[in-house]
Amino acid sequence: MIKVGLTGNFGMGKTTVAELFRSLGAYVINTDKIVEELLNDNSVMNEIKKLFGEEAFLEGKINKKYISQIVFENPLMRIYLENILHPKVFEKIDEIIKNIPTRGEPKIVIIEAPVIFERGYQNRFDIIITVYTTEEIAIERLQKKGIPRDEAIKRLKAQFPIEMKKSKSDYVIDNSESIEKTKAQVEEIFQKLTLLERRYAGN
């Protein structure tokens, strides 16, 4: 089994690429979905209340918009929030991986995670892939999702420069053009990962 960290900056297409890997037979873990589940966990909610106060809740649920505004303005608060969530996220990832059947086809596990480099999580993965586009394309995509341009820029600035992530990755995927071109890159990398996993399994 090979654990692949799939990263990239906001709006650059991690989820699109993850789904292409899934269609080829990879097992995909989306950390954003894990975080969504954790935000409904009572113990997590209590920790967030201690950090952000009562204002962080709306009708008994976490006010994600309010928290987002704070953490993208205040890097230290973002780190405090990540310190609450990330250990629990990795616990869940480990639990999911333990329950993946080990027999059958080579196992490629794609873990979609946005802040691998920002938090120094590189050693938790066997391979790291960075998905990239230009910042302008990313901003346009985020705007289409309803995120205002100034907010999109703020989110991108909160992450490490994409060129740095590319330079530290095992593979990169250019998601600037058509889905067909992105798919071709994914297929090529998947073949390489499959061969690599077979070598691992043979040792």
CATH number of 33-104: 3.40.50.300
pTM: 0.89
Domain boundaries, the chain: 1-25+106-202, 33-104
CATH number of 1-25+106-202: 3.40.50.300
Q: How far apart are CA 26 and CA 107, in angstroms?
A: 7
Q: Which of 134, 110, 102 is nearest to 28 (CA)?
A: 110
Low-confidence ranges of the chain (pLDDT < 50): none
Flag whether 25 is marked binding.
no
| Identity of residue 98 | K
What's the chain's average pLDDT? 90
Q: Which of 119, 142, 116 is nearest to 130 (CA)?
A: 116
Q: Which of 191, 151, 182, 194 is nearest to 14 (CA)?
A: 182
Listed in sequence order, the residues at least 6 apart from 159 whose beta carbon sits closer than 8 Å to its beta carbon are 9, 10, 114, 115, 118
Flag whether 15 is marked binding.
yes
Q: How far apart are CA 191 and CA 68, in angstroms?
A: 38
Q: Taking the C-alpha atoms of 31, 37, 43 and 49 in order, what is their torsion angle to the nearest 10 degrees?
A: 90
Q: In what order do the strands lie in the sheet with 2-8?
A: 27-30, 108-112, 2-8, 127-132, 171-174
- DSSP letter (8 states) at residue 103: S
Flag whether 12 is marked binding.
yes
Do the first three CATH levels of 1-25+106-202 and 33-104 match, i.e. the same topology? yes
Flag whether 13 is marked binding.
yes
What's the distance, Cα to Cα, between the start and end of the chain in Å?
Answer: 12
Flag whether 202 is marked binding.
no
Q: What DSSP assignment string belongs to 68-95?
A: HHHHHH-HHHHHHHHHHHHHHHHHHHHH
Render pLDDT for 120-177 as a digit per residue (tens, 0 to 9): 999 999 999 999 999 999 999 889 888 889 888 888 888 889 999 999 999 999 999 9
